[in-house]
Amino acid sequence: MSQSTERILTTHVGSLPRPEELLPYFERIQAGEEIDEDAFEAAVKDATEAAVRRQDEVGIDVATHGEQGRPSFVTYVVNRLTGFEGEVPAIQWADLEEYPNYARQVPTFSEWSQPDATIPAASGPIEYDGEAETKAELDRFEAAIEAAGAEFEDTFVTAAAPGTVASYVGNTHYDSHEEYLFAVADAIATEYELIADSGAILQIDAPDLLGGRHLKFKDRSESEFVDIAATHIEALNEALANVPAEQVRIHTCWGNYEGPHHHDVPLEKVLPEIYEADVGGLLIEQANPCHQHDYTVFEEHGVPDDWQLVPGVIDVTVNYIEPPAVIADRLERFVDAVGDPDRILAGADCGLGTFAGFGAVDPEIAWQKLDALADGAALASERVY
């Protein structure tokens, strides 16, 4: 994990808005139609270079490729793991089920609510078959940094947690959730090691640890869900066996969408299990109205001695551009909670382009929010150093 003893560094969760030129390719791929692979590769190359250049321009210190070549933060795995030829009915968030009129107003939620809506599913044995695609993505990122002439403190690359895949992608092959979970963990370990071998920080995307409570596991009790989260961490640690903990950070959240969120599991219930992960840092949403109070949880529970904390201090579900003073105030709360500014990085609640073509924040406003993030981190640094 990156660290500074002079200022608060900036980063984000990974996904960034895709340019309009890329979206038709993803639409055709999702529809099972043929695409011009060379043209798609060229478009992804251009989009990655643009994402890298803009991160450099707005002042992001720990940057990534923006997931420009991926359809989403999780469904990209169906192209890198074997066995995903099936589909199952889509699942709706528990809070949105109670407000169907609101859910129908948002296209993605509306699509998931349709009786015939489906998601991909494992229909056969899962093995890793994505070495070439992952290496190409890593090479493209490195080339984009060189082409942009960008200079970052560090870089990171995202990968879905085993629990995220097992919670957000369906299964018709394995006899139990646990069997499915550990099959994914065994397979996706190859991706984790490829990313780590590139020298980048490996970011594990694990919304299953919080958001899974009111999605796949909405029929379980709170205590049952905590046990499930513990099992997900166990599977993750198995997949990370050959990756140094200090090179890994984990992101978790309650779902990257504007909604009531009145079924969000309290952070303090799950945090002890999250702290069992073999990682060196935690990114967690803290800017949205439902979780701005959670800094008190870190005051009470602390942070593992060898971890860094990356609180989300910009909300990625609204088009307000947070003033730097607001961002600085939020960062100061976490500096006080942890007791050491060197262990705090400034981050975002979640991705700004979690699915290609879907994002609550206008793309240009998204970049302005990241620019404000850098200004807010600079202001907070003046106050705490």
Report the candidate in 180, 155, 150, 153 with the shortest Cα–Cα distance to residue 167: 180
Rounded to whole angstroms, the Cα distance separating 349 from 316 reads 6
Q: Rounded mean pLDDT of 219-225?
A: 97
Q: Rounded mean pLDDT of 269-286?
A: 98
Residues 144-188 have pLDDT tens digits of: 999 999 999 999 999 999 999 999 999 999 999 999 999 999 999
Domain boundary assignment for the chain: 23-76+131-384
Q: How confident is the model at residue 106 (pLDDT cuts 50, 70, 90)?
A: confident
Q: How confident is the model at residue 2 (pLDDT cuts 50, 70, 90)?
A: confident
Length of the chain counted residue by residue: 385
Q: Do strands 201-205 and 248-252 pair parallel, antiparallel, or not at all (unpaired)?
A: parallel
* Type of residue numbered 358: F
Rounded to whole angstroms, the Cα distance separating 101 from 155 reads 42
Residues 330-373 have pLDDT tens digits of: 999 999 999 999 999 999 999 999 888 877 899 999 999 999 99
What is the dihedral angle through the alpha carbons of 348, 354, 359, 365, rounded to the nearest 10 degrees?
40
pLDDT of residue 254: 97
Q: How confident is the model at residue 79 (pLDDT cuts 50, 70, 90)?
A: very high
pLDDT of residue 357: 81
Q: How confident is the model at residue 105 (pLDDT cuts 50, 70, 90)?
A: confident
Rounded to whole angstroms, the Cα distance separating 294 from 350 reads 16
Q: How confident is the model at residue 108 (pLDDT cuts 50, 70, 90)?
A: low
For 140-278, where are the E strands, in sequence order? Answer: 154-160, 170-171, 201-205, 248-252
pLDDT exceeds cutoff 70 at 384: yes
End-to-end, the C-alpha distance of the chain in Å comes to 20
Residues 53-64 have pLDDT tens digits of: 999 999 999 999
Among 3-7, 177-181, 195-199, the least confident range: 3-7
> If you search the block for the tokens 């990974």, which residue do you land on?
14
Question: What six digits make up the tokens of 194?
Answer: 């490829």
Report the candidate in 354, 309, 258 with the shortest Cα–Cα distance to residue 2: 309
- Whole-prediction pTM: 0.97
pLDDT exceeds cutoff 80 at 112: no
Q: Answer yes or no: CATH 3.20.20.210 is held by domain 23-76+131-384.
A: yes
* Type of residue numbered 238: E
Distance of CA 8 to the CA centre of its chain: 21
pLDDT exceeds cutoff 70 at 295: yes
Q: How confident is the model at residue 232 (pLDDT cuts 50, 70, 90)?
A: very high
Mean pLDDT score across all residues of the chain: 95
